[in-house]
A = this chain, B = another copy of it.
Amino acid sequence: MMQKDRRILVINPNSNEVVTGGLDEALDPFKTAGVAIECMTLSNGPFGIEKQADIEAVTLPLRDLVQERGDVDCFVIACYSDPGIHVCREATDTTVLGIQECGVLAALARGEKFGVIAIQEASIRRHLRYLRQMDVMARLAAERAANLTVAQSASGNETFGRLIEVGRDLRDNDGADTIILGCAGMASHRAGLEAELGVPVIDPVQAAVASALGIVLLL
């Protein structure tokens, strides 16, 4: 049987092409499954998404995008705050996945209590609001900030050292037995951090694309 062409579209809502390139690389392992995995940059997004205003700025552009792209079988919004997820779901019958949702759910399948490493202190309050909305707070060990800039978060040894520090804190003091990287651009550190901490470390974009594959492969 000739297989139809299927496609997952991973949208980086910020306009930083380097981040999009990193996503693309992080998703290489998933490209063997016969499903196209396309990473694109939301050209009119802000350079980084750090504040609530950045989130609001991308919701309708994301909505427009999911409406335009009729060739896609599953959308993944690759920003940890899951911007625009509800308006995108309203706008299309195609499945739209958020990486915070998928990252948390992936953690719940592998441990009792998840910890989250946020890039910035200021994001935690917003993330916790979302976790309350998901009604999963009882399974949260803690969310702690690495206090890196988004740029720093995507590269560098200093970053890795800081992730290890925060990860150990979550594991040893908060009782986390899984760790979620609370940002779209840290996948390159995942395996190393997992080796260092000895507990599953989850990159939320990879988690979301795995969920997307689980849906798209059945179409």
Residues of A within 8 A of B (CB): 3, 29-30, 32-34, 51-53, 55-57, 59-60, 63, 84, 86-87, 89-91, 95, 97-98, 101-102, 105-106, 108-110, 112, 125-126, 128-130, 132-139, 177, 190-191, 200, 206-207, 209-211, 213-215, 217-218
Contact = CB atoms under 8 A, between A and B. Distances in A.
Main SS class of interface, A: helix
B214 A33 contact: no
B109 A29 contact: no
Given A3-B32, A132-B132, A133-B133, 14 more contacts: A32-B217, A52-B90, A56-B87, A57-B60, A86-B129, A95-B110, A109-B211, A112-B128, A129-B133, A132-B135, A136-B136, A191-B218, A200-B215, A213-B214
A61 B86 CA distance: 19
Contacts of A110: 95, 97, 215
Greatest chain B CB density within 10 A among A33, A56, A97, A130 is at A56
Instruction: Tell me the number of copies of this protein.
Output: 6
A33 B207 CA distance: 16
Nearest to A55: B87
A192 to B, nearest CB: 12
Nearest to A194: B218
22 contacts: A29-B217, A29-B218, A32-B217, A33-B33, A51-B90, A52-B86, A53-B90, A56-B59, A106-B211, A112-B125, A112-B128, A132-B135, A133-B133, A135-B136, A135-B138, A137-B138, A206-B214, A207-B214, A209-B214, A210-B211, A211-B211, A213-B214
